[in-house]
Amino acid sequence: MTDQTVGAPATRQRRPSPLAITIVIVVLLIIGFLAAASVFTEVLWYRQVDYFPVLTTQWIAAGAMFIIGFLAIAVPVFLAIDIAYRKRPVYARLTAQLDRYQELFEPLRRLVKWALPTLVGVFGGFSTAAQWQQILLWMNSEPTGKTDAQFGIDISFYLFDLPVFQGIVGFASAVTLIALIAGVATSYLYGGISFSGRDVRVSKATRIQAAILATLYLLLQAASLWLDQYRTVNDPNGLLTGAMFQDVHAVIPGKQILAGIALIVAVLFLITAFTGKWRLPVIGTALLLISSIVVGIGYPWAVQQFQVKPDEKSLESEYIDRNIAATRDAFGVDNVEVQRYDAVTDAEPGALRDDAVATSNIRIMDPEVISQTFAQLEQSKQYYTFPKSLNVDRYEIDGAVEDTVSAVRDIDISRQEGWYNRTLVYTHGYGLVAAFGNQRSPGGEPVFLESGIPTSGKLGEFEPRVYFGMNSPEYSIVGGERAKPIELDFPADAESKAEATAEADSETAEEKAPEEASGSKQNLTTFDGDGGPELSNIFVKLLYALKFQDMEVLLSGAVVDGSQILYDRNPIDRVQKVAPYLTLDAAPYASVVDNKVVWIIDGYTTSNQYPYSEQKDLNEVTVDADNDRVSLMAKPVNYIRNSVKATVDAYDGTVTLYAWDTEDPILNAWSKVFPGTLKDVSEMSGDLLSHVRYPTDLFKIQREVLSKYHVTDAGSFYSDEDAWRTPDDPVAATGNGTTALAQPPYYLTLSAGVGVEPSYSIYSTYIPDARGEGARDILTGYLAADSNAGSEAGKVSDSYGSLKLLTLPKGNTIPGPGQVQNSFNTDPKVSTELNLLRQGETSVISGNLLTLPVGGGLLYVQPVYIKAKTGTSFPLLQKVLVSFGDQIAFENTLDGALDVLFGGNSGASAGDGDAAGGSDSGTPGDGSGASDGEAPGTKTGSSTVSDATIQAALRDMQSAIQDRDKALKAGDWKAYGEADARLEAAVKAALGTE
């Protein structure tokens, strides 16, 4: 074996392989194409919705702020490094270790000199670009005409100016500090700063540079401390939000003193730049640090501990008054009308005679419960869906305004396979389904005023197709010049009178709708609106193929000339994109307006900078039993206005913004930022105004504020002697065993007070703010907001938005929702009948517990539904619970229950007395819940039902439900009706109402 030559050959530098270079280039190209697709498709989208200036304004503002931020930090850092290097000592004596560092650094010096400022500049650019909204607001702000209670400065200073000033000072401080560090480090590396034992040698150039930067930094700290005194009026960490006694007498003066000291120390550093004497600025810096501890921390602590705490109620009284006034103003509750309501508790005959309109509009259809019923009766096909919660709306029917529950029949493509079906065939929902809120059918179903496919009813002719809905597909390709339509419009079943039209233009079974492939015909249509960007050429198709990562957009022959691509179809998303400054209400609703289905969305302008106003977490206070928290991030606000009403056309997606609150300073600033995007209320049609309502989320945060701030006396407020809270939802707490959540507010037509004309309103109740065994669930307050905006074109009703707070006398105990629900559940007659309904294959669902100020007292109404436990099932309204004072009635209809409750004649009609099974034959008092010893056999009304009869009836109910489910699956509506009639007869037999 030959010996190898000793010693390794020279190492060759490995070059990147061509494959690696190719992969990198391909990846960069893919990222570039995707980025370009995202940009160009955004341009096309904004152009199509006619809000292109909104996009360009955002891009220009963010781009300009990025450049400013980049240059503002990159240039000073570059100059600090460059000057320190250029002014380095030529003959500096370096230590051996520092000399080695310099040798290592020197080859990289030029790279670092340019790369480091560029890197920090990029970070600075992104940080400033994110502030484009605040900068534009500041540039377009105007005085509000209101001043804060501490400094007497216009509120606009806190909303617009102060955040910008503090941001500029903070950014400049960071830039100065980074430049100082970079300059000192460079000087040290090249001998400008050297250490010899205890001596520190600093070159003249380094001294001047460092001293000037230190001077600038301390000047900025002085400005920051001076601005910090104004921030105390927004400080939420004290007794209440705002400058309290400690802040006014210790913190604010301390900030001013520290600002003065920082200014003096800055002058000392400037002097050092010329004299080279460091002693005075070092002493001054130490003095500043000591003062910040003594004056900034120690003195305020001493004032709070030894002056405020012993007499807090008296000393803080003035500042509590400030907080109360500012909070009520900032949340729009300063003009709430407070009225004492001496509620009676005796249910006298004819008590509802003066509340006939409110009584006739009591809603017994719970929008959270009957969504399943809507789905089963009106969904028609598996590719349609209804939302979990229905909308509460109102329409003028036969000359009378009726409260309704409604929802759009939206498309659901989750069960569809294949790109063709999901994108080209199943493109839209169809119709709006609405039912009377105060009526029920003989079988317990809703009484529909608009239903069916094709849609028909009392709402007149309107465009039923819903291309833009809450459940619309991510994107669809519609319209175009086609020989035959391919978009599924609605099914052509035996019950429909519509004629089946041409089949889809497809040669393969995969490219046909499932029903067509199996031989069934469908009604087809072609979108003819202007709803999305047009796929006009191969370049645009390529852009959207990249955006949605579906090459079928580019390759499919079904994408023809004139085809449009619809995306960003959720109404909330569309409004948010064209109005990025708005916080949107979580409950958009669809109404038939001017012969179209239109989504109505409430938009808010908010701030957390309003002086002395208490902060609330908007994401927390809007959570209740019907609304889950959608974001774990806190959104602190202490100012809110319902500044914009937005609409989205469900057919073509047109977005319209109306400036609702023209006195809002934030909206006025945004209207200058995005000129021409907001329409005046005078342009709203009467039909649209008739469907506008007081927004849900605004009402929730206002009721939260008023739970404490209904008290306007500082002493009482401090003592917390009359604090309230929204009651827990009794249905969710008792029925589902879940964690107690607040009872949601409800929309009803009601009279808020004695002798008040009834109006469509949103309301909520209050109970004492106490938990645990000693808590009392008694009613203390009733808050209602007028939600009727009128029906005259361009004119909002004067009463719209007015808040009324009914306060109940403390000496007259009125049961709260929790107590009433407990009384319902424990009443012998009620519990017996509910147990009967729960037997066999049915379950009982308690509907929303409504509270109405009628008859001089408070009436509680709760619908009760039954639902089969197995098979196809949906809730059916069967009974109604009512309570007034300590009396209870439980009958088949609301009319019957009210008559029983009020001694045989309530004095008003509830509107559901014509429902079969509703002729409650019970004598007055039979439904009062006072019956005892009703077993064996159950007394219902005036009849006694034997156990054998009950068991037979339950068997008949089970058989009828099974037969009805089979008929529903088979689409045999005749058999469905027969089975439903048998179910009704069995229920009446069990309850003894035949």
Looking at the DSSP assignment, which residues form a beta bridge with residue 850? 861
CA distance 747 to 784: 9
CA distance 844 to 556: 52
* Long-range contact set of residues 99-102: C-beta below 8 Å, sequence gap at least 24: 101/189, 102/189, 102/190
Indicate the SS3 state at residue 340.
strand
CA distance 893 to 911: 9
Which residue is listed with tokens 């602190």?
636
Query: Which among 702, 754, 744 is positioned nearest to 358, based on CA atoms?
Result: 754
CA distance 644 to 646: 6
Per residue in 256-297, pLDDT (tens digit) is 999 999 999 999 999 988 888 888 899 999 999 999 999 999
Q: pLDDT higher for 490 or 69?
A: 69
**Confidence at residue 553, expressed as pLDDT on a 0 to 100 scale:** 93
Q: Please say whether the beta carbons of 512 and 503 come within 8 A.
A: yes
What per-residue string of b and e applies to 21-58 under the rule 16 or more CB within 10 Å gives b? Answer: eeeeeeeeeeeeeeeebeebbbebbbebbebeebbebb
Q: Please say whether the beta carbons of 383 and 364 come within 8 A.
A: no
CA distance 317 to 966: 70
The bridge status of strand 655-659 relative to strand 678-680 is parallel
Confidence of residue 347 (pLDDT cuts 50, 70, 90): confident
Confidence of residue 161 (pLDDT cuts 50, 70, 90): very high
Helix, strand, coil content of the chain in percent (nearest 5): 45, 20, 40
pLDDT higher than 50, residue 542 = yes
Per residue in 628-651, pLDDT (tens digit) is 877 788 899 999 999 999 999 999
Per residue in 430-442, pLDDT (tens digit) is 999 999 999 998 8
Q: Report residue 126 as tokens.
A: 């992104």
Residue 866 identity (one-letter amino acid):
I
Per-residue pLDDT averaged across 714-728, rounded?
92
Query: Which among 626, 870, 642, 657 is positioned nearest to 741, based on CA atoms?
Result: 626
Per residue in 40-71, pLDDT (tens digit) is 999 999 999 999 999 999 999 999 999 999 99
Per residue in 526-537, pLDDT (tens digit) is 999 999 999 989
Q: Report residue 766 as tokens.
A: 């209050």
CA distance 316 to 568: 51
Is residue 367 reached through a cis peptide bond, with omega within 30 degrees of 0 on the bond before it?
no
**Confidence at residue 13, expressed as pLDDT on a 0 to 100 scale:** 55
Percent of the chain at pLDDT exceeding 70: 87
Indicate the SS3 state at residue 778.
strand
pLDDT higher than 50, residue 928 = no
**Confidence at residue 703, expressed as pLDDT on a 0 to 100 scale:** 97
pLDDT higher than 70, residue 240 = yes
**Confidence at residue 973, expressed as pLDDT on a 0 to 100 scale:** 63
CA atoms within 13 A on the CB side of 396: 11
**Confidence at residue 739, expressed as pLDDT on a 0 to 100 scale:** 65
Per residue in 649-665, pLDDT (tens digit) is 999 999 999 999 999 99
Is residue 768 reached through a cis peptide bond, with omega within 30 degrees of 0 on the bond before it?
no
Confidence of residue 839 (pLDDT cuts 50, 70, 90): confident
Q: pLDDT higher for 275 or 319?
A: 319
Q: Report residue 895 as tokens.
A: 């009319």
pLDDT higher than 70, residue 131 = yes
C-alpha R_g of the chain:
36
Per-residue pLDDT averaged across 228-250, rounded?
94
Confidence of residue 345 (pLDDT cuts 50, 70, 90): confident
Percent of the chain at pLDDT exceeding 90: 64
Give the CA-trace dihedral at 521, 527, 532, 536, to 10 degrees. Answer: 90
CA distance 215 to 284: 12
Per-residue pLDDT averaged across 390-405, rounded?
93
Confidence of residue 519 (pLDDT cuts 50, 70, 90): very low
How many C-beta atoms lie closer than 10 Å to residue 396's C-beta? 13
- Backbone φ, ψ for residue 659 (5° rounding): -75, 100
Q: Report residue 542 as tokens.
A: 């390529």
Classify residue 277 by burial, with Cβ atoms within 10 Å: 0-12, 13-18, 19+.
exposed
Q: List the single range of 300-304, 396-400, 842-846, 916-920 with lowest mean pLDDT.
A: 916-920
**Confidence at residue 99, expressed as pLDDT on a 0 to 100 scale:** 65
CA distance 242 to 329: 14
CA 931 to chain centre: 47
Residues comprising the chain, all counted:
994
Dihedral sign for Cα atoms in the order 591, 596, 601, 602: negative
Query: Which among 325, 239, 233, 304 is positioned nearest to 718, based on CA atoms?
Result: 239
pLDDT higher than 80, residue 348 = yes
* H or E stretch at 734: helix 730-735
pLDDT higher than 90, residue 386 = yes
Name the maximum alpha-carbon separation found in the chain: 122
How many C-beta atoms lie closer than 10 Å to residue 88's C-beta? 17
Per-residue pLDDT averaged across 594-612, rounded?
97
Confidence of residue 77 (pLDDT cuts 50, 70, 90): very high
- Which residues, 6+ apart, have CB-to-CB distance to 428 below 8 Å? 411, 465, 466, 467, 472, 476, 478, 487, 527
Per-residue pLDDT averaged across 454-479, rounded?
94
Q: Report residue 143 as tokens.
A: 């005085």
Q: List the single range of 189-198, 270-279, 865-874 with lowest mean pLDDT.
A: 189-198
CA distance 847 to 184: 72
Task: Report the chain's mean pLDDT, rounded to a whole number.
Answer: 86
Cα end-to-end distance, the chain, whole Å: 114
Q: pLDDT higher for 625 or 811?
A: 625
**Confidence at residue 516, expressed as pLDDT on a 0 to 100 scale:** 44
Per-residue pLDDT averaged across 178-193, rounded?
86
DSSP state of 659: E
**Confidence at residue 929, expressed as pLDDT on a 0 to 100 scale:** 35
Confidence of residue 101 (pLDDT cuts 50, 70, 90): low
**Confidence at residue 939, expressed as pLDDT on a 0 to 100 scale:** 37
Per residue in 550-594, pLDDT (tens digit) is 999 999 999 999 999 999 999 999 999 999 999 999 999 999 999
Q: Please say whether the beta carbons of 365 and 437 come within 8 A.
A: yes
pLDDT higher than 50, residue 498 = no
Indicate the SS3 state at residue 218.
helix
- Backbone φ, ψ for residue 109 (5° rounding): -60, -50
CA 168 to chain centre: 31
DSSP 157-205: IIIIIHHHHHHHHHHHHHHHHHHHHHHHHHHHHTTSEEEETTEEEE-HH
**Confidence at residue 907, expressed as pLDDT on a 0 to 100 scale:** 87
Q: Please say whether the beta carbons of 372 and 837 come within 8 A.
A: no
Q: Report residue 82 as tokens.
A: 């460059």
CA distance 687 to 689: 6
- Backbone φ, ψ for residue 107 (5° rounding): -65, -25
CA distance 135 to 157: 13
Residue 992 identity (one-letter amino acid):
G
Q: Report residue 784 as tokens.
A: 């209602």
> Residue 943 — left, alpha, or beta (φ > 0 → left; ψ -120 to 50 → alpha)?
beta
What per-residue string of b and e applies to 802-814 under the rule 16 or more CB within 10 Å gives b? Answer: bbbbbbbeeeebb
pTM across the whole model: 0.86
Q: Please say whether the beta carbons of 463 and 596 come within 8 A.
A: yes
Q: pLDDT higher for 929 or 700?
A: 700
CA distance 129 to 408: 40
